[in-house]
Amino acid sequence: MTESHGEPRPGPAGSDGEPVYADRVYRSVPGVISGVLLLAVAAWLIGDAALNGSGRTPWVALAAVPVFAFPVIAYTLRPAVRADERRLVVRNPLRTITAPWAAVDALRAGYSVELLAEGKKYQVWAVPVSLRQRKRAARARERGGQVHTSRLGMVFGAAGTPSGVGVQGSSDPNRAWSDQVVGVLQDMAERNAPRPDAAGPVVVRWCWWIIAPTVAGLIALITVIAV
């Protein structure tokens, strides 16, 4: 179950006569929820240790904050995929991959979702693959009908379509959510690759605001424990 947006923007069609769509954004809602819960529990434990601990305990607790908090943010809250008419932006825990559509070779969903661009392969963390959803999708296809989704299922992924929620623009809502997303993005790649403004190289940037504080916090934590 994930978050996604992709409704048409109000206003005229684009310069090529095609309708203009807002950015499509995909991320894992369970991942975000688990990250928020982990940070809340850690804040409570670390705050208690910092306020009520004795000796070096408060300093160890404070030094552990960036070592724990930034990786949790990186792997749960940060991953997202954003797609517009010109490019695909994949935000992974430690890197951001920006791929113009003309540079995208393919997107595929095996045991994980992968972006193939300029002969290289990149994992797409924000779109996790669920084998359980795929099995549910296979059973739905065997029954030969589309499963209707309740409002509760749309929120929690507990009922309705195999993924619990349909993806805007997907041609087959009876597929697992990750497969629907990959299908939509692949269609966007094929449709937008010829656009003049969709050309250019793939750009990979490291997320230093995650890496640097984590490394600094680790050094501080080792120093506090060792002294």
Q: For 111-151, give the DSSP string.
A: SSEEEEETTEEEE-TTS---HHHHHHHHHHHHHTSPPPPPH
Query: What's the pLDDT score for residue 134?
Result: 81
**To which residue do tokens 């995929």 refer?**
81
pLDDT at residue 11 in the model: 41
How far is 158 from 141, CA to CA, in rounded Å? 18
Token representation of residue 159: 């009922």
Query: Is the pLDDT score of 4 beyond 60?
Result: no
Is it the case that residue 129 has pLDDT exceeding 80? yes
Give 172's pLDDT tier (boundaries 50, 70, 90).
low
Predicted confidence at residue 157, as pLDDT, reads 36
The pLDDT mean for the chain works out to: 83
| Residue 101 scores a pLDDT above 70 | yes
Of residues 31 and 162, more confidently modeled = 31
Give mean pLDDT, residues 15-27: 68
* pLDDT value at residue 99: 97
Is 194 a residue whose pLDDT tops 50? yes
User: What is the average pLDDT across 37-45?
Assistant: 97
| The two structure tokens encoding residue 5 | 């947006």
Helix ranges, the chain (H): 29-52, 57-72, 131-143, 151-156, 177-192, 208-226
How far is residue 15's CA from residue 167's CA, in Å, rounded to a whole number? Answer: 26
CA dist., res. 10 & res. 29, Å (int) = 27
List C-alpha distances in Å: 123 to 97, 117, 171, 185: 10, 11, 24, 14
CA angle in degrees (0–180, nearest 5) for 131-83-109: 20
* Residue 129 or residue 19, greater confidence: 129
Task: Over range 23-50, report the average pLDDT.
Answer: 95
Which residues are registered as beta bridge partners of 102? none
Q: pLDDT at residue 15 above 50?
A: no
State the CB neighbour count (10 A cutoff) for residue 138. Answer: 14
What was the pLDDT predicted at 145?
Answer: 53
